[in-house]
A and B are shown apart, each in its own frame.
Chain A
Amino acid sequence: MIPPRRSRLALSVVFLSLLGVGSARGQDQPRAKVHVEICEAGLSEKPEWPKDVLAASDRYEADALAFFHVPFKYIDTGIRADRANPYLLRATADVVFPAGKHRILLRARGASRLFIDGRQLLTTPFVPKISDGHAPIPTDYLDLGPDFRFKPPGNREKWTTFESKGSTHRIVLETIVGGKRGGGIMKQDLGETVAAVSFAGSESFHLIAPVKVITYTDAGWREFEETEWARLHALEAGRRKDALAQHAAVWEQRRADAKAWLASTPEVKVPALPKGMPGHNAVDHFLAARIEAAFQAGDEARGRIDYDTQVRPILQTKCFSCHQGDKVKGKLRLDTRAAALKGGVSGKAAIVPGLPEKSELIARITSMDKDEKMPPQGPGLTVDEIKLVRQWIAEGARHDSVGVKRRPVPGRADDLTFLRRVTLDTVGVIPSPSEIDTFRVDNRPDKRAHAIDRLLGDPRWADHWVSYWQDVLAENPNILNPTLNNTGPFRWWIHEALLDNKPMDLFVTELVRMRGSHYLGGPAGFAMASQNDAPMAEKAAIVASAFLGVQMKCARCHDAPGHTSTQKDLFELGAMLNEAPLAVPATSTVPKDKLHQGRKALINVTLTPGTKVAPAWPFKAFLPSPPGRGVGGEGTLARTRDQLASAITDPRNERFAQVIANRLWKRLMGRGIVEPVDDWEKNAPTHPELLRYLGRELVRGGYDLKHLTRVIVNSHAYQRAADADLKEVDPLHLAHAPRRLAAEQIVDSLFLAAGKRMDTEEVSLDIDGGRDIKNSLSLGKPNRAWMFASTSNERDRPSLSLPRVQAVVDVLEAFGWRATRQFPLTDRDVSPNVLQPAILSNGVVGTWLTRLSDEHGITRLSLESKTPDELVEQLFVRVLMRRPTTDEKATLVEHLRVGFDQRVVKSPAPLLATKRAPPKYVSWSNHLTEESNQIKIELEAAARRGDPPTPRLQAEWRERMEDVLWAMLNSPEMIYTR
């Protein structure tokens, strides 16, 4: 917040400027900070400076006259919004110059001008017309000293001299950001908008700054950028907090309403912990009660075929898509015993207990008749499967579990295994060496609970969860020409919402309202679906599966055999998002001739294309009707989006909290209480009471996902040792099963284990900002895996490649990350394929991670370790989070002992310094030149070569060490939780 004194000062500057007494600026009290003003009103869209001094609509402070990012504007409850385009940035600094003739440099992306003591000293021009591909590789670089930083892409620069008598000067930098050109809207990028000074007698430049001394060299800028980002992010977080505070009353009322609802409804009874079962909290009580029941059943029925583990999976893959749940084909349900005994329209019992030959089910699955056989399409049951079902019927066809053999519940995993698991599950990476050390020396009995609390306060929580919601909400930005169902980059909204730990009901509300910026990362980006003729129908299906566990994707074109939701339901929901009736497009149907081919059609088309469907809440079973009034005294909700958000998040709609709780449970425990987690029509919950309990616990905790996470990861069940032979998570949660890490966790953990910075290009094909905001995005320079996006541009031009980005994307894609997310997905394919180990062991990222370069984390470890023994011990803990076995240790120590004592090079020859040269960059504007291809081909080769090896380690031993590291990073346990 700007203190009132400054506001007065700013006003007086405007006033004096209006009078044309610019030089009077210097007479104000000198300031220790740069005062930045953003002026959004009064600018022409044409490339021209305003005649008047514009009033500021936003202000903040900075350390220097150096800008690469302006804090976002936040509206509503703290979502990004667009600023006026163009806007003017005015930065005022009071700076003491020594006496002498100094060189002054100005560079900027937009038009800029620099005033000293009211006199205009330098200007840079408006953005020139940038060619659509045919521009040359730029050569117009200033080079003003031996350590001079060359201008980055898309900036224009000027310099001059200025003589100071040695006094305080008021320096004002103005730049016009964005604007229109032709029919296009330019991105509001600042490039590197900088005023710098080189004092008389010095060869180097500094950023012009009142107090701080910041050298304007490549290294100086890197450091400045890092601290400045941290400062700007904190500033933005403050702005979001302030925005949300404006709505505090509404959300406090919501909390109160939720509490009242909890009080008015019966609590779920927590069962007693069965004797001899371990338990930390209520979660364990629910699980243990179920385990005990299964044990008891198992004691009685030894050796029989078990429905849950043996029969159900067969029915699930082969029969349930049509014969399960409330809506079934031929009026036959197979998922309950009573229904199966009754049979469907044929009038015959599908199952006659004890008599497989009298059971119609057996007749159908063994039929060779095209019109009789089941399933009607696709592969039928295998011989073994048929045998199993037959025997199950012969044994009486019991639909309940016959239980499991009694055995001891495993104890807790050891400390390091626990730390690795819980760190991956909360912040998405393995623990860092210092986190490991801290945990190891902690002697408190409740050290795990403390570690959990620390992790839940870690901002990396947001990084871990962004990728999940990117998948579930089908975030799908494309850096070039949106085409294939592309959205805006609302990843940034997801990330900030998670950083702020916004409660889930607020998260949903912001999403469903779809307000704010389309292209800068507001929830409005969710509203977009390029080349989709009914985006709101698309979004409705996403919202339904994400937050209500209702799968509606088939309903886009027809009423599906396996789902109760009709096409009308989907379009009603879509119309709510549309805030107006929604027409069924001509493509959202199935032609009659394709419906009826031989056997009776499995699907029905009940809406004709062109039908206009009015907004309506289709899920009366969850909540009879959407509340007409906002929960928090928001008054009448006139807008259907608000009604929808309110209906989803109303505590009386218990489905919502349970779906969220179930999503969290699945992520932490490896298996949903209801499966699939995005489609609740298929299976009943394995632990219905626990599900209700968790749902209510989420509401009780104010819809805080971290609260519920704390409950679950503190349970004994979560902390139990894993059974390395368990291929699938046991529905009883007796033991943990190893889980394959997500692609993002793998990439982030590998970089962390190696202590290597993720150093790629900016994820953009328009780095000089020449293109329209609508067809070229920049997603910035990634430092976590979720920040990547597809490099696909369907153009096959080397000049449009991003070799370093592609190298990481190759790894991510091999492990199931989707470069494009055309539709929502909750459970990725984690099945192994040959490209996964291949890309890790031979790929470009593999080279980066295993080459012991100067700044590689293992280089330092190698230099500092006293003995091969110590080195191997430390490596294991650092990379695999466990102690080596005796055999492992023996092998590796033996391998590293050779040349260990001579490994350190006493006076290493410095790495060849690369010659300072202006960057030759390729952007969309110049990608059609032959030279641009050459540049990118060279960059690709450089990426493949990787960083040069450190000269501080003797080469032969270094290679031995690299080979050890390679083996560890490529071992299967690296990519699983234990």
Chain B
Amino acid sequence: MPPPLTRRRFLGALAATALADRLRAQETPRGRAEHCIFLWLGGGFSQVDTFDPKRVGAPAERVAGSAYPSIATAVQGVRVTEYLPRVAALMDRLTVVRSVHHNVVDEHAAATLRVHTGRPTTGTVAYPSVGSVVAHERGALEPGVPAYVLIGYPNVSRGPGFLGPRAGYVYLTDTSAGPAGLTRPADVPPDRQATREYLLQQLRQPGAAMQGYDQAIAESLRLSGPQFLRAFRLEEEAGALRERYGGEFGQRCLLSRRLIERGVRFIEVSHNLNFLNGTGWDTHNEGHERQHLLIHELDVALAALIGDLEQRRLLERTLIVVATEFGRPSAFDARGGRSHQAAAFSMVLAGGGLRHRGAYGATDELCQRITERPVSIPDFHATIYASLGVDPARTLYDGPRPVPITDGGRAISALFA
């Protein structure tokens, strides 16, 4: 029975909704990436000292500029700091988005939330993190593994918000510990676990009301079994490869690759090992002095990850993101460090089947303003989602309330072939 032409239908046709939808669909590119490794450089990494180099300044005299000289890369015309030689050689596999911006600079937590959820703090909606949205939309690639793994400390910004616990993460704080809740205690070897499960089985005869929980028990026993947990045995990897990845951060990247191979969809890896320079990427004051150690560690790990994924033919289907809560100004503070800057900073995309170009967007001579192709956080998120085949405009529901996945974000179409 064809519906009659109502007034609303008529108006709808006039508004050309369908046409607008078609146009939008054409505009929204879709990538084919299956996984995402989201490297989080907490503290706010300094784009002028890494991926958006400017003229060299002088901390002592408080002359603004980069801290280190820059070098050429595999992409002509794109330069990065001299502490990123390995990444520079792979520059055609990645794109530095140099024109990212938002407006939260005062507090790390608020800016971290902004970059993870793409939304400001509100009292009415708890927005999900990018990892939770991907977990919710795409689930794990294989059964029996979690969709979203966090290698770092549990934080609010990384959580599932209104999507609820099913879109949450399994976390571990260092690669040797294994994930919280899934790693058996050291004094429970397999035979003892078998005894425990046998005994539990005797007590597990619940009525229908508890059956859901009973099934969760069965699932958790599987998940904490040897099959998934084997991913965490980095010692299975060749010594040379482990060395190529470098220190703890590199080992986290290597673990991410192993998790991807088992079907984990989204992995957030925290790189804020502040013992290298005292402050991690939050390079105020003295923290700046040994910032190059952090940059070096990033260079080693990121290059190894890109190379390793490429060799295993996983790079095309794995989007690597290097993200941070904000950048830093080219000016120096009184003790030789840098404060925060959100008006113009860089984030990096690598692999994932995108058409990489070394760099996208540009800033002025001291990175104070964006001069070309500004990319908002929703735009940046939209690019991540689109590359993973998720429609950034899709509507999620917080109860009855519709919430688009991104707040009007538009993917960077130049990166899609």
> A846 within 8 Å of B by Cβ?
yes
Q: Which of B182, B184, B275, B286 has the most CB of A within 10 A?
A: B275
Question: Are B216 and A834 touching (Cβ within 8 A)?
Answer: yes
Looking at B52-60, B313-321, B377-385, B394-402, the stretch in contact with chain A turns out to be B394-402
Question: Are B224 and A727 touching (Cβ within 8 A)?
Answer: no
Question: Are A832 and B402 touching (Cβ within 8 A)?
Answer: no
Once the chains are docked, how many angstroms separate the CA of A485 from the CA of B115? 17
* B125 closest partner in A (C-beta): A823
> A253 within 8 Å of B by Cβ?
no
The proximity string for B residues 202-243 relative to A, scoring 1 for CB distances below 8 Å and 0 otherwise, is 111011111011111101110110000000000000000000
A483 proximity list for chain B (CB < 8 A): 107, 109-110, 113, 121
**Contact count A vs B, C-beta below 8 Å:** 270
Question: Are A842 and B196 touching (Cβ within 8 A)?
Answer: no
Question: Are A822 and B164 touching (Cβ within 8 A)?
Answer: no
A936 → chain B closest CB, angstroms: 10
The proximity string for A residues 543-561 relative to B, scoring 1 for CB distances below 8 Å and 0 otherwise, is 0000000000110110000
> A84 within 8 Å of B by Cβ?
no
B122 proximity list for chain A (CB < 8 A): 485, 532, 822
Given A370-B17, A738-B209, A887-B202: A842 touches B185 (CB 8 Å cut-off) = yes
Question: Are A822 and B121 touching (Cβ within 8 A)?
Answer: yes
Question: Are B397 and A378 touching (Cβ within 8 A)?
Answer: yes
Once the chains are docked, how many angstroms separate the CA of A594 from the CA of B406? 13
Residue from the list B8, B155, B195, B272 in contact with A371, Cβ < 8 A: B8
Looking at A213-221, A227-235, A459-467, A792-800, the stretch in contact with chain B turns out to be A792-800
Given A553-B124, A892-B199: A134 touches B209 (CB 8 Å cut-off) = no
* B401 closest partner in A (C-beta): A554
> A971 within 8 Å of B by Cβ?
yes
> B373 within 8 Å of A by Cβ?
no
* A529 closest partner in B (C-beta): B123
> B186 within 8 Å of A by Cβ?
yes
* A539 closest partner in B (C-beta): B123
Question: Are B199 and A964 touching (Cβ within 8 A)?
Answer: yes
Once the chains are docked, how many angstroms separate the CA of A796 from the CA of B186? 25
A928 proximity list for chain B (CB < 8 A): 274, 278-279, 287
The proximity string for B residues 89-120 relative to A, scoring 1 for CB distances below 8 Å and 0 otherwise, is 00000000000000000011110110000001
* B178 closest partner in A (C-beta): A842
The proximity string for B residues 148-183 relative to A, scoring 1 for CB distances below 8 Å and 0 otherwise, is 000011111100000011101010011001001111
> A447 within 8 Å of B by Cβ?
no
B18 proximity list for chain A (CB < 8 A): 370
Once the chains are docked, how many angstroms separate the CA of A410 from the CA of B405? 49
Given A892-B199, A963-B192: A846 touches B272 (CB 8 Å cut-off) = no
The proximity string for B residues 1-15 relative to A, scoring 1 for CB distances below 8 Å and 0 otherwise, is 101001011011101
Looking at A5-13, A179-187, A812-820, the stretch in contact with chain B turns out to be A812-820
B325 → chain A closest CB, angstroms: 8
Question: Are A837 and B274 touching (Cβ within 8 A)?
Answer: no
Question: Are A794 and B279 touching (Cβ within 8 A)?
Answer: no
The proximity string for B residues 293-328 relative to A, scoring 1 for CB distances below 8 Å and 0 otherwise, is 000000000000000000000000000000001000
> A369 within 8 Å of B by Cβ?
yes
Question: Are A839 and B181 touching (Cβ within 8 A)?
Answer: yes
Question: Are B217 and A793 touching (Cβ within 8 A)?
Answer: no
* A478 closest partner in B (C-beta): B109
A822 proximity list for chain B (CB < 8 A): 121-123, 126
B216 proximity list for chain A (CB < 8 A): 832-834, 836-837
Question: Are A377 and B395 touching (Cβ within 8 A)?
Answer: yes
Question: Are A963 and B180 touching (Cβ within 8 A)?
Answer: no
> A28 within 8 Å of B by Cβ?
no
Question: Are A372 and B3 touching (Cβ within 8 A)?
Answer: yes
Question: Are B126 and A823 touching (Cβ within 8 A)?
Answer: yes
A378 proximity list for chain B (CB < 8 A): 395, 397, 402
> B38 within 8 Å of A by Cβ?
no
Once the chains are docked, how many angstroms separate the CA of A970 from the CA of B188? 15
> B200 within 8 Å of A by Cβ?
yes
**Cβ < 8 Å to B, chain A residues 723-749:** 723-727, 737-738, 740
Once the chains are docked, how many angstroms separate the CA of A835 from the CA of B180? 9
Question: Are B8 and A933 touching (Cβ within 8 A)?
Answer: no
Question: Are A833 and B166 touching (Cβ within 8 A)?
Answer: yes
Given A798-B173, A839-B180, A963-B196: A933 touches B274 (CB 8 Å cut-off) = yes
Looking at A416-424, A513-521, A596-604, A750-758, the stretch in contact with chain B turns out to be A596-604
Question: Are A814 and B204 touching (Cβ within 8 A)?
Answer: no
Given A532-B121, A553-B124: A371 touches B12 (CB 8 Å cut-off) = yes
Once the chains are docked, how many angstroms separate the CA of A891 from the CA of B153? 41
> B42 within 8 Å of A by Cβ?
yes
> A605 within 8 Å of B by Cβ?
no
> A338 within 8 Å of B by Cβ?
no
Given A370-B18, A799-B274: A831 touches B212 (CB 8 Å cut-off) = yes
B49 → chain A closest CB, angstroms: 19
> A189 within 8 Å of B by Cβ?
no
Residue from the list A484, A726, A847, A972 in contact with B213, Cβ < 8 A: A972
A849 → chain B closest CB, angstroms: 11
B274 proximity list for chain A (CB < 8 A): 797, 799, 928, 933
Residue from the list A795, A820, A834 in contact with B272, Cβ < 8 A: A795
A809 → chain B closest CB, angstroms: 8
Number of interface residues of B (CB under 8 A): 91
Question: Are A838 and B223 touching (Cβ within 8 A)?
Answer: yes
A939 → chain B closest CB, angstroms: 12
> A148 within 8 Å of B by Cβ?
no
Once the chains are docked, how many angstroms separate the CA of A816 from the CA of B200? 24
B113 proximity list for chain A (CB < 8 A): 483-484, 794
Q: Which of B216, B220, B280 has the most CB of A within 10 A?
A: B220
A930 proximity list for chain B (CB < 8 A): 275, 278
Question: Are B217 and A837 touching (Cβ within 8 A)?
Answer: yes
A344 → chain B closest CB, angstroms: 12
Question: Are A369 and B3 touching (Cβ within 8 A)?
Answer: yes
A820 proximity list for chain B (CB < 8 A): 156
* B168 closest partner in A (C-beta): A835
Once the chains are docked, how many angstroms separate the CA of A799 from the CA of B274? 9
Once the chains are docked, how many angstroms separate the CA of A377 from the CA of B395? 8
> A356 within 8 Å of B by Cβ?
no
The proximity string for B residues 43-85 relative to A, scoring 1 for CB distances below 8 Å and 0 otherwise, is 1000000000000000000000000000000000000000000
> B23 within 8 Å of A by Cβ?
no
Once the chains are docked, how many angstroms separate the CA of A828 from the CA of B200? 27
**Cβ < 8 Å to B, chain A residues 361-395:** 363, 367, 369-372, 377-378
> B417 within 8 Å of A by Cβ?
no
* B166 closest partner in A (C-beta): A833
Question: Are A532 and B123 touching (Cβ within 8 A)?
Answer: yes
Question: Are A835 and B210 touching (Cβ within 8 A)?
Answer: no
Residue from the list A367, A597, A792, A968 in contact with B203, Cβ < 8 A: A968
Once the chains are docked, how many angstroms separate the CA of A813 from the CA of B270? 21
Given A794-B42, A796-B153, A967-B200: A975 touches B192 (CB 8 Å cut-off) = no
Question: Are B124 and A556 touching (Cβ within 8 A)?
Answer: yes
> B345 within 8 Å of A by Cβ?
no
B133 → chain A closest CB, angstroms: 16
> B332 within 8 Å of A by Cβ?
no
Given A738-B210, A795-B108, A929-B278: A829 touches B6 (CB 8 Å cut-off) = no
Given A485-B123, A597-B17, A822-B123: A796 touches B154 (CB 8 Å cut-off) = no
Q: Which of B3, B157, B215 has the most CB of A within 10 A?
A: B3
Given A369-B9, A484-B156, A790-B156: A976 touches B210 (CB 8 Å cut-off) = yes
A740 → chain B closest CB, angstroms: 7
Q: What would be 8 A-B contacts, judged by CB atoms less than 8 Å apart?
A: A371-B6, A541-B124, A725-B209, A726-B207, A795-B42, A796-B272, A819-B156, A944-B186
Give B residues with C-beta under 8 Å from A.
Answer: 1, 3, 6, 8-9, 11-13, 15, 17-18, 20, 40, 42-43, 107-110, 112-113, 120-126, 152-157, 164-166, 168, 170, 173-174, 177, 180-186, 192, 195-196, 199-200, 202-204, 206-210, 212-217, 219-221, 223-224, 270, 272, 274-275, 278-280, 282, 286-287, 325, 395, 397, 399-402, 408
